[in-house]
Structure 1
Amino acid sequence: MKLDPVSLKLFVRVVDEGTIAGAAELEHIAAPAVSKRLRELEEVFGTPLLTRTNKGIAPTAAGVNLSILARDVLDDLRNIALQMKAYSDGLRGSVRVLVNISAISTFMPPIVKSFSERYPDVNISLLERDSLAITESVAENVAEIGVFTRLPRSADIEVHPFRTDELKVLVPSAHSLAKRRHVTFSETLDYEHVVLRAGTHLRFQMMTEASKAGKTLRAKVQVSSYDALSRMVQVGMGVGILPASNADLYRLPGTRVLKLDETWAKRELVVCVRRADASDRVIERLFGET
């Protein structure tokens, strides 16, 4: 048995209006076409559904029951359409966001909070990854969105500006550099460093710049977060380099923040999506109002 929602809708309309002509006018369809669909419904169910008189049309007992059932079906179909439209409009669903270590604890929390308040039916999966891994994962459709420090890349992704940040030098208050307001990276290389784990863009950049300066990056302690880096600097395990936003977030007693006098200290954070997903509405709503 094949039931056509359009025919059910026309049947309900005829029952409500009491005439085929009235239903046809409201539904913007020719009266003969309405009559044809009603006959097809009666053939499908094998029983009369309407009684035709000179005063109009009235439902039979079967027609009354069908009218009740059809209204429920049509309501369910409308609800399905509304819920599916919520997905296409970015009002419902889920989104996977990969974020580098610099942004996940600083810029992202207020963005996620604001988005969740406006769109409570969209679930966000926020995961920390290294910048290079983010570009590759988004290009390979492992995640819909990535936030990373701008770097040379080969991944086929679309990139948009997000935030700017600046690298700073964190030192213990008793350190010999603590009286300075700004230092060069080469000067910090005379001391032991607390560094991020291998694989991060900042760690790679520090090693590259150390090599250019003809010096070695002396990594005393390796950590996996800027919070841990700040704590290690606080207890005197070395100096550390971290973004200003993280330095402000994790500023601890017994430490000082110095300006890093290097052109590469200025950094740009970007948002990336696959080219095919650049117009996705969830993405627009997550970052479009930031």
Structure 2
Amino acid sequence: MRSFDPVSLRLFIAVCEERNIANAAKREAIVPSAVSKRISQMEDEAGVQLLERGRRGVTVTAAGEALCRYARESLQLLDRMQAELGAFADGVQGHVRVFASKSAVAQVLPEDISLFAKRYRDVRVSLEEREIWEVVRGVEEGRADIGVCWDAVDLRGLKTFPYHRDQLAVVVHPDHPLAKRTSVSFEDTIDFEHVDIVARSIMQTMQRSVAAAAGKQMRYRIQVSTVDAAYRIVAAQLAVAIIPQEKASTIQQTLGLKVIPLSNDWAKRQFVVAVRDKGLSRPAQLLLESLKESMKQPRP
């Protein structure tokens, strides 16, 4: 059996993750027929069926799952090898893949990566915003070198380092019954209608869990896709919103809204930087050290 080339392995991984040849082809910027041909050739060379094809997509066989696992490890090794050789040739070069949760991307992470990029101009950093569970799985599977997310999720044994902390707050209209409070528990907000901000699933899970423990049920009046839209809903006196205090403080003057910190322990969020408990490439190690160092610097 011939060795599989890196391009074929990368395409096969994409199909396994997408469970659909057309979607994998779109992701890798190649025509579906070329992907299908590559995989058929791989099956012929391996002598086993790697995928079961159906009208709605593909199912990965046991042999295919094994190949996908080894393919990820092989490509990770190739990436590290290229990064290390680049470091010997022209100083530090390479590519670092970072998966981060929406909250992490919305706050200080882009600024910290920007500082790193200015220092190491030959290192390309890809920052992708993902759901928190995708951040963990992406690092675990090697699709990301570094993950940044809230530590409320199961980190599955990944090596983690403390990163940014924030404080959740409730944002209300100045005429709201809670507006004169200097601090409030989340339980005190449950009786009021909330803004449902899309793509914050772990936050919603936490809120529903706290509400259930208090014998109550969350009431979401309207759903929006951005934090800025949530501010507008609050300004229109339609609902209250739960937002990081640091981010919400900027709208106190512009919209005249009240930002009240939540007193619950879980409202003080700790973000972490997560990596696999294996050797990182030189560029990824440098970015990790840079993110850890950023926590020692004063924030504006």
User: Shorter-normalised TM-score: what interval?
Assistant: 0.5 to 0.7
Structure 2 counterpart of 1:281, which letter? Answer: Q
Alpha carbons of structure 1 residues 113 and 87: separation in structure 2 relative to 1, 3 Å: farther
1:163 matched residue in structure 2: 164
Structure 1 gaps, min length 5: 1-80
2:225 matched residue in structure 1: 224
Q: Secondary structure at 2:125's aligned position in 1?
A: strand
Q: Distance in 1 between matches of 2:183 and 2:270?
A: 21
Structure 1 counterpart of 2:158, which letter? Answer: I
Q: Secondary structure at 2:249's aligned position in 1?
A: helix
Alpha carbons of structure 1 residues 227 and 92: separation in structure 2 relative to 1, 3 Å: farther
Q: Distance in 2 between matches of 1:192 and 1:87?
A: 59
2:83/2:93 contact within 8 Å kept: no
Q: Distance in 2 between matches of 1:203 and 1:88?
A: 49
2:285 matched residue in structure 1: 281
Mapping for residues 145-164 of structure 1, pairs under 5 Å: 145-153=146-154, 155-164=156-165
The CA deviation at 1:206 is 0.4
Mapping for residues 39-118 of structure 1, pairs under 5 Å: 84-86=85-87, 91-118=92-119
1:259 matched residue in structure 2: 261
Alpha carbons of structure 1 residues 268 and 82: separation in structure 2 relative to 1, 3 Å: closer
- Summarize deviations over 1:58-95 as a string: whole Å, max 9, x none: xxxxxxxxxxxxxxxxxxxxxxx999342799821221
Is residue 186 of structure 1 aligned with residue 190 of structure 2? Answer: no
2:162/2:292 contact within 8 Å kept: no
1:121 matched residue in structure 2: 122
Alpha carbons of structure 1 residues 158 and 82: separation in structure 2 relative to 1, 3 Å: closer
2:116/2:287 contact within 8 Å kept: no
1:172 matched residue in structure 2: 173
Mapping for residues 187-202 of structure 1, pairs under 5 Å: 187-197=188-198, 200-202=201-203
Alpha carbons of structure 1 residues 227 and 277: separation in structure 2 relative to 1, 3 Å: farther
How many residue pairs match? The answer is 210
Q: Which moved more, 1:167-176 or 1:241-250?
A: 241-250
Q: Secondary structure at 2:274's aligned position in 1?
A: strand
Structure 1 counterpart of 2:160, which letter? Answer: V
Work out the percentage of aligned pairs sharing the same amino acid: 34
Aligned mate of 2:271, from 259, 269, 272: 269
Structure 1 counterpart of 2:271, which letter? Answer: L
Q: Which moved more, 1:247-256 or 1:200-209?
A: 247-256
Superposition CA RMSD, Å: 2.6
2:168/2:244 contact within 8 Å kept: yes
Q: Secondary structure at 1:281's aligned position in 2?
A: helix
The CA deviation at 1:118 is 0.3
Structure 2 gaps, min length 5: 1-81, 295-300
The CA deviation at 1:217 is 0.6
Name the TM-score, length of structure 2 as normaliser. Answer: 0.63
Is residue 204 of structure 1 aligned with residue 205 of structure 2? Answer: yes
Structure 1 counterpart of 2:265, which letter? Answer: T
1:45 matched residue in structure 2: none
Q: Distance in 1 between matches of 2:286 and 2:92?
A: 8
Q: Secondary structure at 1:289's aligned position in 2?
A: helix
Q: Distance in 1 between matches of 2:223 and 2:83?
A: 51
2:183/2:262 contact within 8 Å kept: yes
Higher Cα Rg: structure 1 or 2?
Answer: 1
Q: Distance in 2 between matches of 1:144 and 1:88?
A: 22
1:96/1:124 contact within 8 Å kept: yes
Alpha carbons of structure 1 residues 206 and 193: separation in structure 2 relative to 1, 3 Å: same
The CA deviation at 1:141 is 1.1
Q: Secondary structure at 1:276's aligned position in 2?
A: coil
Q: Secondary structure at 2:103's aligned position in 1?
A: helix
Q: Secondary structure at 1:146's aligned position in 2?
A: strand
The CA deviation at 1:224 is 3.1
Alpha carbons of structure 1 residues 159 and 119: separation in structure 2 relative to 1, 3 Å: same
